[in-house]
Structure 1
Amino acid sequence: MQQKLKFIPHTKWTATSLWSLEYPSLSMLFFSLIIVGIGEGVLLLSNLGSAPWTTLSQGIAIQGGFSVGWASFFISCAVMLAWLPLRLKMGIATLLNVVVIAFFLGLTTSCAPVPHTLICRFIYALIGVLLFGIGTAFYLTCHQGAGPRDGLMVGLCQRFHWKVAVVRTTIEVSVCLLGWLLGGVVGIGTLLFALSIGWVVQVTLLLIARSPFILEDKPV
């Protein structure tokens, strides 16, 4: 069996390897990534600001004179290069992260009603952050790799034994600040995401670790 990360709980759906095709792990992986995609879509529909990494993509696109899509691609490549000293490995979740989240992000923004009042937009942003964080925590418990940005968080937590909330918040706030300095758009939703997503992920991991699904007692 692959070596599991100590700060991420071991559950009944935890896979035996990074590329194993087991029904429990794959079903949870798909379900949780769908939740992440819906959460990102709901956050986008709130029109209160995008996620910090999107803000950075906007800033780099403005400075580089190319599209946000290409900027996001370049960022993903650069982040994955940072995986090397952290000794992270790709898994099936790394690939599905890109495809599944993108599909349900687009589906959500196309099908979900658009909020118009400020309170509804704020509720959308709050729900989006919660869904994104909860989905992230659950897909990581499959232990089949992580997306480029989540992998950076996982690698730093594993290497330096720091708390998920501290690492994720530091990354998101730094990315948000850099994106803003480069000309990206920052809104209330952007700040809400940057300051709270790490705590949502950590609390969810802690709750999973204390649930009947846990197989080994691993601290978050």
Structure 2
Amino acid sequence: MHRFGQLQLGLVFYGVSAACQIQSGLGLDPWDVFHQGLALRADVQIGTMVIIVSGAVLLLWIPLRQRPGLGTFCSMFVVGLSINVGLAVVGQAHHVVAQAMLLAAGIVGSALGCAMSISAGFGPGPRDGLMTGLAARTPLSIRQSRTLVEAVALVVGYFMGGTVGVGTVIYVITIGPLTQFFLELSTPSKSR
């Protein structure tokens, strides 16, 4: 039960952190640029669109022969709902200092939430499974498949009206190292 609680807490962290980054107004991560662009077109909340897109991405797992885990389905719903709740609670920043603080909280919180949910071991989220499935079934490496999927989401989202800015660039540059840092903190040392 401890690992399941860790998974849920990590997913809530991830969703609320996304809400912080949205409310910073400085630019979203590539997938949320896509989610926001679609949400604007469909006139729904961004968290609701995260749930819808997660379901659609899971359909792409079928030809890639990926198998979802409990964490996959939890990720679909908990992250989307947490974004919607986070947006209702976290106000939009209008001053540059508040914007920077929300952006930092969003990026660091996303990395921490990602590390917590991964280390819980209940299966990848829908987008991560798409990345690993592409890497397993095509000549693309994990890095290449991740870059391809994120780049497509970013470009399509941008043209649909998603927010791209300095926060997007900072997210792309820092999310990998920060997630690795938190994963290393959460992985027990072999010397213990």
Q: CA deviation at 1:39?
A: 0.8
Q: TM-score, normalised by structure 1?
A: 0.68
Identity %: 28
TM-score (norm 2): 0.76
Instruction: Give the whole-Å Cα distance in 1 for the aligned partners of 2:90 and 2:42.
Output: 30
Aligned residues: 188
Correspondence 1:133 to 2:125: no
Q: Is the 8 A contact 2:49 2:80 kept in 1?
A: no
| Counterpart position of 1:120 | 98
Alignment of 1:65-84 (within 5 A): 66-67=42-43, 75-84=53-62
Contact 1:176 1:190 in 2 (8 A): no
Cα distance in 2, alignment partners of residues 119 and 103 from structure 1: 27
Q: What is the one-letter code of the residue matched to 2:15?
A: G
Query: Displacement, 1:29?
Result: 1.0
CA RMSD of aligned residues (A): 3.2
Task: Give the corresponding residue for 1:173.
Answer: 151
**1:131 CA displacement:** 0.8
The equivalences for 1:79-158 within 5 A come to 79-156=57-134
Post-superposition CA distance 1:57-84 (Å, at most 9, x none): 454567xx64456865664344223322
Kindly indicate whether the alpha-carbon contact (under 8 Å) linking 1:52 and 1:173 is maintained by their aligned counterparts in 2: yes
Matched, 1:192 2:170: yes
Runs of 4+ off more than 6 Å: none
Q: Distance in 1 between matches of 2:161 and 2:120?
A: 37
1:202 to 174, 180, 183: 180
Query: Which runs of 5 or more structure 1 residues have no equivalent in the other structure?
Result: 1-22, 216-220
**Which amino acid in 2 is paired with 1:173?**
A
Higher helix proportion: 2
Tell me if structure 2 keeps the 8 A contact 1:169–1:196.
Answer: no
How far apart, CA to CA, are the structure 1 residues paired with 2:122 and 2:43?
Answer: 31
